[in-house]
Amino acid sequence: MKAKDFEVLVEQLGELSTVQRDALLAALQSKGSTDEVIALIETRFAAAPCCGHCKSERIGTWGHASGSRRYKCKACKRTFNALTGTPLAQLHLRGKWLAYAQAIVDRVSLRVAAERCDIDLTTAFRWRHRFLEAAQEEKPGSVTGIVEADETFILKSAKGSRKLVGRKPRKRGGKAKKPGLSTEEHDCILMVRDRHGQTTDAILPDLEGRTFKAALEPVVAKDALLVSDGRAAYGQFADGAGLLHISLNASAGERTYGSYHIQNVNAYQSRFKGWMRPFNGVASAHLPSYLGWHRMKDREGQSLTPQRCLAAAMAATLHH
């Protein structure tokens, strides 16, 4: 692992002491991927040790198991390891995790990932969504300045479902039965991006004004200038929030208003759809994972390494 990559990784892991940094660097220079993964796990935990069950910081060591240190909580009296309460808890074959994280970075298919790591296809599927669980929730707390917002639509998919409710099966891809775009046959994804590159998104159950408000209100800064298409819901939200708002009627050929436009968010939408194309359709139930995956790739760029991908997955806490 290069020194520059290590320094970036340490920043992601949080505040570490000099001893912890030295220990992690020494471990990452070892030849075994299993040793490297265990080093990442233990050092990530050492940055903020707490019980994986009740989050108490009153803990003590409790031996080792499978190469990892175990702990016992003095509050709830339960034992745990550094992965308890994270998406990677109880996953086996740690020696293959870094190779799988590389497959995430490379955006390869499940079949290719399974072949690379010599694991079963169903294991590759399960690992993908465990590794990406943290990415689903990794969104900016706010978007500021000039904020562009627009929706994009993807045909709903029940891929993998044992039962279809309300329609007959269709061929891969397929077309909507009704003309136009609606949440009846499409997943509507609201994408919001500011001029600093901060991007968030939300899958909307409908196109009502209150739904847009619920998605936009927590993240759009109070002093932002909102630029959107002509959908009335944006204007309703902006009026209620006291925001400056510029509405562009694209159907009438209105693409810009002076220097204001929604071309940044539209370009992001285009990149997302192009990035999704090789997957040949994604189940609607798993769409949040892929949105998070793309945000991570867009945010990290060339800095996204298997180690950073793995560290991000370990940093998340499971939602119970």
Determine the Cα angle at 163 with ends 160 and 164, to 5°.
95
- Check whether 160 has a pLDDT greater than 80: no
Whether 121 is in a domain gets the answer no
Whether 20 is in a domain gets the answer no
Whether 315 is in a domain gets the answer no
Cα 132 off chain centre by? 6
Pairing of strands 79-81, 68-73: antiparallel
- In degrees and rounded to multiples of 5, residue 157 shows phi and psi of -135, 135
Whether 21 is in a domain gets the answer no
What's the whole-model pTM score? Answer: 0.81
Whether 223 is in a domain gets the answer yes
pLDDT of residue 30: 47
**Tell me, what CATH number does 210's domain have?**
3.30.420
Whether 218 is in a domain gets the answer yes
Q: Using an 8 Å Cβ cutoff, are 127 and 205 in contact?
A: no
Whether 180 is in a domain gets the answer yes
pLDDT of residue 12: 52
Residue range 14-69, pLDDT digits in tens: 555 555 555 555 555 444 566 777 777 787 787 788 998 999 999 998 998 877 88
Containing structural domain, residue 238: 141-291
Whether 313 is in a domain gets the answer no
Domain count across the chain: 1
The one-letter code for the residue type at 104 is: I
How confident is the model over 193-219, as a mean pLDDT? 96
Output the six-digit token pair for 149: 């917002």
pLDDT of residue 183: 78
> What's the rounded Cα separation, in Å, for the pair 79 and 87?
18
- Check whether 319 has a pLDDT greater than 50: no
pLDDT band at 273 (very low <50, low <70, confident <90, very high): very high
- Other CB atoms within 10 Å distance of the CB of residue 309: 26
Identify which has the larger pLDDT, 158 or 104: 104
pLDDT of residue 44: 74
pLDDT of residue 96: 92
> What's the rounded Cα separation, in Å, for the pair 199 and 158?
27
Place of tokens 């050492």: 46
First to last CA, the chain: 35
Q: Give Cβ neighbours of residue 185 (< 8 Å, ≥ 6 apart).
A: 155, 156, 176, 177, 178
pLDDT of residue 4: 53
Q: Which of 296, 297, 287, 301 is nearest to 315 (CA)?
A: 296
> What's the rounded Cα separation, in Å, for the pair 78 and 87?
19
Identify which has the larger pLDDT, 88 or 161: 88
